């Protein structure tokens, strides 16, 4: 009998220990998605033909000097063209997952199985997504690399500081520029509400967070994106099968039966956020099977892009695998990040992905609305309907 992915996923979540601070996380997610759900399609204007761009330009100059034109998709069948004050418009919301999951061997965990991942890929990619104008939900492993902190010294945190003559804390000249840049970029992302960080450690925490984020982003439709760079465990010990306390070594050799983690990519694609643009990663140590496995994942889970990378050179080169073929992406020099080139190419894929939406906007129906708030909540004035 064929496995039932939905049933396996439901059984996993029923048995998993509840996520700590679930209500707080749900509230933060709802607020973050709501803030950005009305900004998603601003970058459609270069693709649209008249009369929509001309109409937007006329409204901007005729109604309010400096007002930003913004497209908001209420649904695929009734999009709206909105003029709202402030802001620069965002390409959308992307969920970046980063770092490796652990598999606890005891409920009161002392020992665990870990997946290799420093979080470098996810942290760097988050920086470039933010630079490109995306809002980012960053699901990350506690203790892994963080956005804007990748170039800080990896040794003691205290090495970043020194005491001045009056015992005031200072950053030495050797680190001042890096620290200033990191703080400036990070504070900008946080203060503008563009970055939401959600930590995990175990496979149970990670998959519960992914489910919560995906279902929250489902309302974004095609303006949501998943960039799944986390190293997720393939096998785990079901919670009800775990020893409650520390496993005693005096008992001799340890024999343990591991179960397969349900394939949540399939569930995400089919149920949680079926309209989102999905990018997954395939890491292998054997280059002879890497691309074949990436193409298999593309077909099996319905991904838009699978990024194939080999453990030996994952920092230098990756291969983007899509239904249209393969594209090798490398960093131009050791000073550059391959993630910057990757996000640039993914943006091209996004334009193609949104081509259907572009045609829908050109056909109409659409409404032209002038509003005083970025979100459009302050009594918008209907100007024209087509």
Q: Are 103 and 70 contained in the same domain?
A: no
291 or 155: which carries more pLDDT confidence?
291
Residue 345 lies in a domain: no
**For the ranges 84-98, 141-155, 182-196, which has the lowest average pLDDT?**
84-98
Q: Are 264 and 362 contained in the same domain?
A: no
Please state, in angstroms and as integers, the Cα–Cα distance from residue 47 to each residue in 60, 155, 347, 351, 384, following that order.
18, 48, 14, 9, 21
Residue 150 lies in a domain: yes
Q: How many domains, the chain?
A: 2
DSSP 65: T
Residue 149 belongs to domain with CATH number? 3.40.50.10300
Q: Are 181 and 55 contained in the same domain?
A: no
244 or 195: which carries more pLDDT confidence?
195
Percent of the chain with pLDDT over 70: 74
Rounded CA-CA distance 359/376 in Å is: 24
Q: Does 381 have pLDDT greater than 70?
A: no
154 or 343: which carries more pLDDT confidence?
343
Residue 79 lies in a domain: yes
pLDDT in tens, 289-344: 999 999 999 999 999 999 999 999 999 999 999 998 999 999 988 889 999 999 98
Domain extent at residue 369: 39-90+357-386
Q: Are 202 and 227 contained in the same domain?
A: yes
Percent of the chain with pLDDT over 90: 53
Reported confidence tier of residue 352, pLDDT bands at 50, 70, 90 = low
pLDDT at 249: 82
Phi-psi category of residue 143: left, alpha or beta, with phi > 0 → left and psi -120 to 50 → alpha: left
Determine how many CB atoms are found less than 10 A away from the CB of residue 45.
17
Q: Are 173 and 259 contained in the same domain?
A: yes
Q: Are 229 and 82 contained in the same domain?
A: no
Q: Are 144 and 48 contained in the same domain?
A: no
Reported confidence tier of residue 159, pLDDT bands at 50, 70, 90 = confident
pTM passes above 0.85: no
Chain Cα centroid distance, residue 94: 4
- Closest Cα to residue 59, out of 68, 72, 50? 68
| List of residues 6+ apart from 127 with CB closer than 8 A | 147, 148, 150, 185, 339
Q: Does 22 have pLDDT greater than 90?
A: yes
In the predicted model, what is the mean pLDDT of residues 133-160?
Answer: 86
Rounded CA-CA distance 358/369 in Å is: 19
Average pLDDT, the chain: 79
């Amino acid at each position: 009998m064929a496995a039932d992915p939905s049933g396996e996923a439901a059984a996993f979540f029923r048995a998993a220990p509840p996520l700590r601070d679930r209500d707080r996380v749900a509230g933060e997610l709802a607020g973050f998605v709501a803030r950005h759900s009305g900004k998603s399609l601003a970058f459609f204007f270069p693709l649209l033909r008249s009369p929509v761009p001309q109409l937007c330009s006329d409204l901007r100059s005729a109604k309010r000097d400096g007002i930003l034109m913004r497209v908001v998709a209420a649904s695929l069948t009734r999009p709206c063209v909105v003029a709202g004050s402030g802001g620069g418009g965002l390409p959308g919301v992307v969920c970046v997952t980063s770092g490796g999951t652990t598999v606890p061997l005891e409920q009161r965990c002392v020992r665990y199985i870990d997946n290799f991942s420093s979080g470098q890929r996810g942290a760097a990619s988050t920086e470039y997504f933010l630079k490109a104008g995306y809002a980012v939900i960053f699901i990350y492993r506690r203790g892994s690399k963080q956005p804007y902190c990748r170039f800080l010294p990896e040794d003691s945190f205290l090495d970043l500081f020194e005491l001045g003559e009056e015992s005031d804390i200072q950053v030495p000249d050797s680190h001042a520029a890096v620290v200033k840049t990191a703080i400036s970029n990070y504070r900008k992302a946080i203060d503008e509400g563009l970055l939401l960080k959600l930590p995990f450690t175990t496979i149970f925490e990670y998959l519960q967070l992914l489910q919560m984020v995906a279902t929250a982003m489902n309302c974004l439709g095609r303006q949501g994106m998943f960039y799944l760079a986390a190293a997720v465990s393939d096998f785990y010990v079901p919670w009800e099968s775990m020893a409650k306390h520390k496993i005693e070594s005096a008992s001799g050799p340890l024999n343990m039966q591991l179960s397969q983690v349900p394939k949540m990519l399939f569930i995400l694609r089919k149920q949680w956020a079926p309209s989102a643009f999905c990018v997954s990663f395939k890491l292998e140590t054997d280059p002879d099977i890497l691309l074949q496995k990436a193409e298999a994942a593309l077909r099996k889970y319905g991904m838009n892009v699978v990024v194939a990378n080999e453990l030996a050179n994952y920092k230098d080169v990756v291969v983007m695998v899509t239904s249209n073929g393969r594209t090798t992406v490398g960093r131009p020099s050791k000073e550059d990040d391959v993630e910057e080139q990757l996000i640039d190419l993914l943006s091209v894929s996004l334009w193609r992905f949104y081509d259907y939406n572009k045609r829908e906007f050109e056909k109409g129906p659409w409404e032209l609305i002038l509003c005083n708030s970025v979100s459009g909540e302050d009594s918008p004035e209907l100007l024209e309907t087509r």
